[in-house]
Every structure is written in structure tokens, then in C-alpha cells.
Amino acid sequence: MTNPVLETISKRQSIRSYRPDPIPRDLIQAIIEAGNQAPARGRMKEGSSNLDFQPWRFVVVEDADLKRKLVETTLPFWKNMTASMKDSHPDMYAGIMAQFEAMPEPKDMVYYAAPAIVFVIGPKGFDISCSLACENMMIAATSLGLGSCYVGFGAMVTGNTCVVEALELQEDEKIFGPILLGYPCGEQGTLDSIRTEKAPPSIKWM
């Protein structure tokens, strides 16, 4: 069985090489609005008697200087993780390092030089709700011809005061994603080429 929504869901895949072309703002807006439609756990908000079902907020980073700071902050985490693969997965390590060496400065192996990085920010304890918003955004991006990727490494920015201030990240908040957005580049990077087909789901019918 198929329909446009099911087709879009199965077409979505993590994209790790992007064209530098900027994304029209109305597309990013539409993607964020799709995130905003996600189901969420209700929370009481100070000064309101109604439950709030939109715990998230979104920060879109397109600025080159801020992106450079993001890369400088997160790349050491990436390097540590990659080094740990050297003995356990030597072939994969060699492929990733070849991609790293070939990359122009700044060597952005975390955000893959995506033209837009969308930080989904929500209160601690709202992980499921905010993650659902992220998935809606990635499906919406696919439907609009854009590539996307959820990059957990990209959230490791809390050690950089300057970035924390730019994101206006509060003590009780957490980053989800960020979600990379951009037009997929024709050429696949090493990381794209290691993608495997999804195995059929494990289902128990009762």
C-alpha cells in the first residue's frame, strides 16, 4: 500500500552532503510549522490555566561565523568518537578520515556544511515530544525536496558560552537535533554510502 505521505516517509534518509545554496525562508518556515504540529505532552505554564502542548522553540542558524563556532565546539567530540573506531572498525575509520582530509576548511564533519541548522530547544523532561517535532520536520523537509539529518553531535555545544548565549539556552532547557537542512549534493560522502536498507519491521500480531 502506498500514498504520498507513506512515500515521503520511506524516501526520507539522513543526508550528509549538501549544496551550499541557501534555502528559501518560506521552506524553512513550513518545515518548522510541521514540527510545531507534533503531538506533545502537556505542561503547566506559569501565568496560564491552560495546558501548553508546544514545549519547543526553534533556532535557525545560517550565519557563517556562528556555524564556525559550532564546528569548533563540536569537532573535538567527533574526533574522539572517530578515534575510538580505529581499532574496532578500521575500514570505516579509513573511509571517514579520507572524507575528513578531503574536506575544505573548516572541516565540518558534524554539520556537514549544511546551509541551515535548526536547533529544536525544549524543557528537560520533554524528550519524546521534542523528538516527535524533529521527525515531523525531517519528513516535511523530504516532501519539499530538501535533505535533512538529525545530528546528536551537533547538540554538544553547551561548553561554549558564546554559542549558549546565541541560542539563549536556559538551565532548564535541552537541545534536540539539531536538524540539518539543505539541498542534497549529487555526490555521496563516505558516510552516505554506508547506509543500509531498512530491515523489515519485527511485528507480533495478537
Ligand X SMILES: Cc1cc2nc3c(=O)[nH]c(=O)nc-3n(C[C@H](O)[C@H](O)[C@H](O)COP(=O)(O)O)c2cc1C
- Site residues (CB under 6 A) for ligand X? 13-14, 16, 149-153, 191, 195
Rg (CA), the chain: 18
Residue closest to ligand X when measured from CB atoms: 152
CA-nearest of 62, 13, 7, 59 to 32 is: 59
Q: Integer distance in angstroms from the first to the last C-alpha of the chain?
A: 22
List, in order, residues 6 or more apart from 95 with CB less than 8 Å away: 190, 194
- Closest contact distance (angstroms) between CB of 45 and ligand X is 27
Is residue 146 within 8 Å of 23, Cβ to Cβ?
yes
- Closest contact distance (angstroms) between CB of 81 and ligand X is 9
- Closest contact distance (angstroms) between CB of 170 and ligand X is 22
- Closest contact distance (angstroms) between CB of 13 and ligand X is 4
